Structure 1
Amino acid sequence: MLSVEELVAAGDSIVVEHGDEFPVPREQLASIADLWRIVGQHPGMRGVKKARLALDLIRVGADSAPETMMRLALVQAGLPEPLLNVVLRNGLGHPVVWPDAAYPEYRVALEYDGGHQGDPDQYRRDIKRQALTESLGWRELRVQKGDLEGDRPFVVERLRAFFSGVSAPADSQRTGS
């Protein structure tokens, strides 16, 4: 009954985990391998083909369905897949920012702003996070619900425009530091 994208979002929520470097460490409910095993136990069941398609797209690290939808919109548009669970560190090597998704080679952090971002305290925290991200030499792109809607999501156009104007540094690492 669910679309492939909805299955991916459900799968992402099952496999999400964050290590000790995150403000709130989180253990996954099951691994991607566990999900493959479960689907493999029901080869002829209705919906298994769709489940297999979704399993190929499930990733560890998305904390919400909109974060998953953002990643899928980018991938489906032919853009590089952003990394999840990237940790940005300060000059002392301490973890200080945990973007929803990132392109470390371009030093771009993506942050999905959900409904709670309208809260004044959350808004202040978001502004501080963006300033900290930028002080580390990264650019933060904030994405809202409307940026994910339609046949040509605005987030895709924003990133295409960004990528067309820059090139990845030759010495960059995909470590987030």
Structure 2
Amino acid sequence: MAKLSNRELIWNAISRSVFQDRVVSYGKFLDAIINPEHPEHQSITSQALMMLPAATFVNLLGKKSFIENWTTIKDSVVITRKSVMDNVIILDSIWSSIVTGFSFIKPRPYIKKPLSSKLQSTFLEVSKKSKGVSIYDIKKNTGRAYNRVHEDVSKLEALDLVSTNLTKVNNREVKVVSLKFA
């Protein structure tokens, strides 16, 4: 007999409370959640979002799979209940927190893996100031080289997470970096 994974053990413990009307195997659950073309995608995903705590949902999918598929899952589900909407908001926040280290960023479908720890620290420095912060100030606060911080800002800008503006301060042009929430 094959050994069950931790996810399958969790699934076996909770599946009857989520799907009281039928037996759904872990494999079928996973396929239906991730594959929008699956005939039962709508019903299984809606039921799971309504009944499962957000952390359990992420654990069942796995972090990597959750990051890669969350925007597709979210866009394909018709939200009809407040409990589903609440869970979607929480899962958006979890996605953002895993990827960026900051939980108030709208999920982007083109980001398929978490940012590196250095890139996250640069992003968090930008997120501290609502008016924006200069690259030099980020360099000073993180203790990293200017060129590394500049590269990080360019990467974050390419991911559409931050925006930059040139402003004049004491007759010098300064690049100010600010969050992009939309």
Structure whose residues are more often helix by fraction: 2
TM-score by length of 1: 0.27
Indicate the structure whose relative CO is greater, using CA pairs within 8 Å and at least 6 residues apart.
1
Larger radius of gyration: 2
